[in-house]
Amino acid sequence: MAKRIKAPSAMPGFIKPQLATLKSRAPSGAGWLHEIKYDGYRTQFLIDGDERKAFTRNGLNWVKRFSVIAGALDVPAQAIIDGEVVVVHDGRTNFSELQADLARGDQDRLLFYAFDLLWLDGDLRSQPQAERKRLLKELFDDHDLRPPLMYSEHLEGDGQQLFEHASQLNYEGIVSKRADAPYRSERTEAWVKIKAVQREKFPVVGFVKDPTGVAALYLGKREGKELLYMGKVGTGWSRTVSGQIRKQLETVVSPKSKLTKPIRKPKATWVEPKFYAEVEYRDITSEGLLRASSFKGLTGK
């Protein structure tokens, strides 16, 4: 059985999550645990007898949306598990597919990748990262936890090698964690993230229709009082997601472009820049346009 560290303090509710600092290169050498970076919703599951809660990064309880995962956490203990709720599509986690499933109330594809254990009949946050991962793995093994619950595996050693491999597989990147560090509810350099691609939110200024949804989105970027054209994105969504995007954008259609410097796009349906597209891209061209862009999700302003 997993060793449980006793503490007299009462079980907390939501614990503000530890966040990773963005770096350009993965750490090398001993003393680091390297994990794949998941593209989903950061979630903290709290287990206390028959009670289950599922806290988002901002402390909202989404247990009804994640009730299937919560029900699978059959652990006869007080526990708080940190991780990411995802949908795997075409071999990798896909945020826009996750958003689409949640919009439909569909939980069939939801998975929870658990990567940290903050509480197990006592507070584990002062324990080293490597010890918390060991206890988490024991928890999975001792209670035969299976999908939709997933234990997030890690590698030790050369983080850059894992990052390059992750990049070849079109993963978002990796997260490297100091093996000897405690859990801290803040952004720290004990956790660092290395991204294979850049990711940003851009206001949607227009779209091109296709028979059932959108063929492309036109994107802008605010610089001071100006709204400048940043190019378009035309990949990264399924037919279902495409239709949902169009329904949302048709609520904010505008008779003309809201860009500071108008551009000629004969097929464009212009919109008020009320929605933001989250987009991955490789870089920005000399003309100031996104290169190799891929849609990840649509959010309100």
| Cβ atoms of 205 and 216 closer than 8 Å | no
Report which of residues 187 and 91 the model is more confident about: 187
Distance of alpha carbon 287 from alpha carbon 282, whole angstroms: 15
Q: Give the CATH superfamily of 198-300.
A: Nucleic acid-binding proteins (2.40.50.140)
37 is catalytic: yes
Q: Where in the chain is the domain with CATH 3.30.470.30?
A: 19-195
| Cβ atoms of 90 and 109 closer than 8 Å | no
Q: Please give the average per-residue pLDDT across 39-67, as a whole number.
A: 96
pLDDT of residue 234: 95
Gap between the terminal Cα atoms of the chain? 48
pLDDT of residue 7: 46
Distance of alpha carbon 227 from alpha carbon 196, whole angstroms: 28
According to the 3-state scheme, what is the secondary structure of the chain? CCCCCCCCCCCCCCCCCCEEEECCCCCCCCCEEEEECCCCEEEEEEEECCEEEEEECCCCECCCCCHHHHHHCCCCCCEEEEEEEEEEECCEECHHHHHHHHHHCCCCCEEEEEEEEEEECCECCCCCHHHHHHHHHHHHHHCCCCCCEEECCCEECCHHHHHHHHHHCCCCEEEEEECCCCCCCCEEEEEEEEECCEEEEEEEEEEEECCCCEEEEEEEEEECCEEEEEEEECCCCCHHHHHHHHHHHHHHECCCCCCCCCCCCCCEEEECCCEEEEEEECEECCCCCEECCEEEEEEEC
pLDDT of residue 151: 98
Token pair of 176, please? Answer: 């490297």
The pLDDT of residue 119 is above 90: yes
Label residue 2 by pLDDT band (50, 70, 90). Answer: low
Q: Pick the catalytic residue: 6, 16, 23, 37?
A: 37
Tell me the per-residue pLDDT of 183-230, one tens digit each, with 9 for 90 and over: 999 999 999 999 877 789 999 999 999 999 999 999 999 999 999 999
> Taking all residues of the chain, what is their mean pLDDT, rounded to a whole number?
92
Residue 206: closest CA among 154, 273, 140: 273
The pLDDT of residue 283 is above 70: no
* % of residues, the chain, pLDDT over 90: 74
Q: Where in the chain is the domain with CATH 2.40.50.140?
A: 198-300
Tell me the per-residue pLDDT of 24-40, one tens digit each, with 9 for 90 and over: 889 888 899 999 999 89
Residue 109: closest CA among 19, 200, 240: 240
Token pair of 142, please? Answer: 């001792």
Question: CATH says 19-195 is which class?
Answer: alpha beta
The position carrying tokens 């919009």 is 103
| Cβ atoms of 251 and 257 closer than 8 Å | no
The sign of the CA dihedral 96, 98, 101, 103 is negative
